[in-house]
Structure 1
Amino acid sequence: MGQDIKIRDMVETDCQLISAGFAAQGWDNKLSEIYAGYFREQKEGEREVILAELNGEFAGYLTIVWETKHDAFRNKGIPEIKDLNVLKKHQRQGIASKLMDEAEKRISKRSKYSGLGVGLYNDYGKAQIMYVKRGYIPDGRGICYNDREVVPGQNVKLDDDLCLMLIKELTSQT
């Protein structure tokens, strides 16, 4: 059977669907309230939530935040791709790449650049490699924690909020 990957915008009924998908793989921190907030922000024009389906089944999502909390991006009007997640059972099938293609296409209509933050521990290894292969480079400002630059001597926790911020110049073909 061929792989039919469909990319679409989030609708309100997806909140429970997404939450259930991640709960099934043991991620109880992906609560439906998070997705309800994403949907509300999408309705208000602050965020876009892009979903991927594989053969009609929810497979993953990412969001675009048009005015990010990350100062360096916000001050330059650079939108941020945030929270790219593909269900484990659907990884390594091109879904993240399709989601990124769509996000970059949408961003290129409003900005010359796309930004994102990537985590620094092992769970983010695949994402780190994918972003570099897609042409993302460090923004030159070091790492940040909760969207704030980490300064020399500062102690921070190695968790999902410790990121290296990356940037990519988008082309008209993106």
Structure 2
Amino acid sequence: MTNSIEIRQMTESDVELVYQVFTEHGVGKSRDYIQRCWEQNVTGERITLLAFYQQQFAGSLHLLTTSHYPYFVENGIPEINDFNVIPPFRNRGIGNALMEAIENIAFEKYGIAGIGVGLYQSYGSAQRMYAKRGYIPDGRGVAYQQQPVTPGSMVRVDDDLNLYFTKVKL
């Protein structure tokens, strides 16, 4: 079934396609955001991979060469970021194919990859996937908006509450 999946780097001509498909499927990404991602691919700040299933756009995944998470920045760890598989294409191996491809890039250039994951139920599949792929917590605890959460503080449980993980090249 994986021969039905193609993974390739984003091109400028993909911006409109990605925006249209994300919009059709309720994936909240603005055209400006997608355009900015493309521009960051040109400058080398980001690598964006796109997945196609039977020639249909099915998802995307990014590698930030410089993370926004301070621990990753301080240690030169690139961050796998903004993982999206379009709902009708889930459970077909697309997510794993994207992860494999982006990890290969990260490991080739840096020898390590970092990733953050949300802590509520919607992130359950991602949490399980990262554990199965060998990611381990970075040991810094929970972060909110990329900043450590101190004991006793109160934070909102939303997309900005994350636990960060790393995986090294074996």
TM-score for the superposition, normalised by structure 2: 0.95
Correspondence 1:1-174 to 2 at 5 A: 4-27=4-27, 29-171=28-170
CA distance in 2, matches of 1:2, 1:52: 11
RMSD: 1.4
Work out whether residues 2 and 93 of structure 2, in 8 Å CA contact, stay in contact via their aligned partners in 1: no
- The runs of at least 4 consecutive aligned structure 1 residues that moved more than 6 Å come to none
Residue 2 to residue 107, structure 1, CA distance change in 2 (3 Å): closer
Residue identity opposite 1:36 in structure 2 = Q
Residues 1:2 and 1:163: Cα distance change in structure 2 (over 3 Å) = closer
Whole-Å separation in 2 of the counterparts to 1:50 and 1:84: 10
Task: State the TM-score, normalizing by the size of structure 1.
Answer: 0.93
Paired AA for residue 80 in structure 1: E
Kindly provide the CA deviation profile for residues 100-142 of structure 1, in whole angstroms up to 9, marking residues without a partner as x: 1011110111212110000111111000000000000111000
Distance in 2 of aligned mates of 1:4 and 1:65: 27
Gaps of 5+ in 2: none
Give the distance between the partners of 1:145 and 1:35, measured in 2 at CA.
Answer: 24
* Number of positions where the alignment pairs a residue of Structure 1 with one of Structure 2: 170
- Which structure 1 residue ranges, 5 or more long, are not aligned? none
